[in-house]
Amino acid sequence: MCGVVLLYSLVHQAAHAQSQAEIAAQQIQRQQQKERAQNEQAEEQRPAVRLPREPVPAAAAYPADESPCFPIRHIGLQGDQAAKFAWALDAAADATGRCLGSGGVNAVIGKVQNALIAAGYVTARVLAAPQDLRGGDLQLVLVPGRIRAVRFAEPAAGAGNGRASW
């Protein structure tokens, strides 16, 4: 009889321990689901600040027969650090000698801007200030970009950061 009671007691304790383990596993699973839901919600609220991976499109060709148009003999660059970026004007060298209107000037700006972007200067901008083009001189304005801060997004839950891969 003592053996039966002892056996019953052991079976009861094993069943009780198993149910406690199941409860603990369920609690862990609920906690993981809650954390996953919080991470997904935080990801949805985070603004997407990712650079496009496609190449920069080529600037449009110069429009033909623009009216009014002005024969351009020289293209110059003005602004802070313009001398440092004068090389970008080479991208629009074929505009010299052409008769350009507003569409042609926009094409020149696009070519110079794309040259800067291709070289990694993605925050710099090129503009055309109001000017008289009858003299044949097109002056573009360079606005160099400045990056105030670089912030890294938190890695997603379960995503490694490479440090633990050794």
The whole-angstrom separation of Cα 12 and Cα 20 is: 12
The whole-angstrom separation of Cα 39 and Cα 153 is: 12
Would the pLDDT of 110 be above 90?
yes
Lowest-confidence pick of 15-24, 32-41, 52-61, 112-121: 52-61
Would the pLDDT of 43 be above 80?
no
Residue 157 falls within a domain, yes or no?
no
Instruction: Over range 80-99, report the average pLDDT.
Output: 92
Question: For 133-155, how does the pLDDT look when each residue is reduced to its tens digit (9 = 90+)?
Answer: 999 999 999 998 888 888 888 87
Mean pLDDT, the chain, integer: 81
User: What's residue 90's pLDDT?
Assistant: 95
- The larger pLDDT score, comparing residue 151 to residue 49, is at 151
Question: Using CB atoms within 10 A of its CB, is residue 92 exposed (0-12), middle (13-18) or buried (19+)?
Answer: buried
Would the pLDDT of 1 be above 80?
no
- Element at 137 (helix H, strand E): strand 137-143
- Domain with residue 137: its CATH number is 3.10.20.310
Q: How many domains does the chain have?
A: 2
User: What's residue 15's pLDDT?
Assistant: 58
Residue 87 falls within a domain, yes or no?
yes
Residue 128 falls within a domain, yes or no?
yes
Tokens matching residue 79: 């602004």
Q: Are residues 74 and 139 in the same domain?
A: yes
Boundaries of domain holding 17: 1-35
- The larger pLDDT score, comparing residue 38 to residue 159, is at 38
Alpha-carbon separation of residue 71 from 15, 36, 74, 132, 134 (angstroms): 94, 63, 9, 12, 8
Residue 113 falls within a domain, yes or no?
yes
User: What's residue 41's pLDDT?
Assistant: 78
pTM of the entire structure? 0.57
Residue 74 falls within a domain, yes or no?
yes
Q: Are residues 24 and 76 in the same domain?
A: no
> 5-14, 22-31, 43-52, 123-132 — which one is most confidently predicted on average?
123-132
